[in-house]
A = this chain, B = another copy of it.
Amino acid sequence: MTEAKQTEQRPFTPIVQRLRAAGLRPTSQRLYLARLLFEQGDRHVTAEQLHSEAQSARIAVSLATVYNTLHQFTAAGLMRELVIESGRSYFDTNVTNHHHFFFEENGALVDIPGENLALASVPPPPDGTRISRVDVVVRVTRGK
């Protein structure tokens, strides 16, 4: 069994390190969720989506843990939370500078790389404050 465990665990190594660096214990739930999140390119998921994806993959993890984990990953800077529609939060695995297309008909999100959308001028933040982030959402609908 030791052998099987090792080959199974090898892909976790880099993730274990990311979690440790973020001050999070590498529990099995976090590791499995991290793999779902970070090993297939940039993703935009809701907690419910990720939970049912985990279920399908036979990963035993409760919905509460999915929420906790998404928030911890977000706090650690591994993800970013996006709120676009009332009633649900998306979590984005792409934490580089970028923006989004939002498809109003089906709620889908697609990245717009930072270099494809330029802000010519942003007004100075009010006194005593600083800009923590600028979010641009380009809403699109079906139509000519």
Contacts and interface: CB of A to CB of B under 8 A. Distances in A.
29 contacts: A81-B86, A83-B83, A86-B87, A86-B89, A87-B87, A101-B125, A101-B126, A110-B126, A116-B123, A117-B121, A117-B123, A118-B121, A119-B119, A119-B120, A120-B120, A122-B138, A126-B140, A128-B142, A129-B143, A130-B140, A130-B143, A131-B140, A132-B141, A133-B139, A134-B136, A134-B137, A134-B138, A134-B139, A137-B137
A127 to B, nearest CB: 10
A48 interface: no
B129 A142 contact: yes
A110 to B, nearest CB: 7
Q: How large is the interface on A (under 10, 10 to 19, 20 to 34, 35 or more residues)?
A: 35 or more
A139 B135 contact: yes
A88 interface: yes
A112 interface: yes
Nearest to A102: B135
Contacts of A112: 123
A143 B78 CA distance: 23
A3 interface: no
A138 B131 contact: yes
A88 B86 CA distance: 6
